[in-house]
Amino acid sequence: MNWTLLAINIAVFVYMVVANRGEQVITDWGVVSACLGNSLGLEPQVPPGVLVAVCPTDDREFLQLFTSMFVHAGWAHLIGNMIFLWIFGDNVEDRMGHLRYLIFYLICGVVASLVQMYLSLDTLVPGVGASGAIAGVLGAYLVLYPFASVQVIILPLFFIPFFVPAIVLIGVWFLMQLVAGLGELGQATAGSGVAWWAHIGGFIAGLVLIWFFKRPQRGGWRNSREFMG
């Protein structure tokens, strides 16, 4: 299932590039916080005329919660997300099984979008990317394999690989998201263009949901060495 998710994300992006429909796909299938919030009765501080002009008229907002996590805004956006999914997703899927993993992944992505929507309610820019769902995978990995060794290369600073425990790597990553998210809290649009609160929401969802989705481990705990570049 992890390979299937990787393939779908890559295929959608290739289609966007080949068909030259990147902006249209993002507009049609990304989550617009103001539109979704308006459909949920949260009353974003956006003029009604603007909502009518921007928001879809076919109740697509709820479908976009799912479609948005398979759309990416550029090569760097896609590659960065797929590296994390490739490294951490297979181990998490091993502990859940294929169908459970898919359901877990989608729920984390939806929760991530809802958290981002709630904390940036007036945003009219479509939000896309798999990072919220992948953040959930990171949260699950942290619970399952906190002391697994992750091989890291920090480019362009360090070219020699070194190992760090997952709890350190993922913990530092989460703190970075939290600090950045708190710094942009209350802004209508994130100045960096990064949905920090989607990462935070997805990560916390993963921390919680893993206890309901994981299967009992047979054969005892096994160490896991991963590579991250």
Active-site amino acid positions: 131, 199
Between CA 191 and CA 123 the distance in angstroms is: 12
Report which secondary-structure segment, H or E, holds 164. Answer: strand 162-165
Closest CA to 217 of 106, 29, 91, 103: 91
Do 138 and 206 contact (CB within 8 A), yes or no?
yes
Residue 130 tokens read as: 């798999």
Between CA 95 and CA 148 the distance in angstroms is: 15
Half-sphere exposure of 142 (CA within 13 A, CB side): 21
Beta bridge partners of 164: 150
Could you give the dihedral angle defined by the CA atoms of residues 86, 90, 93 and 94, in that order, rounded to the nearest 10 degrees? 180
Half-sphere exposure of 180 (CA within 13 A, CB side): 17
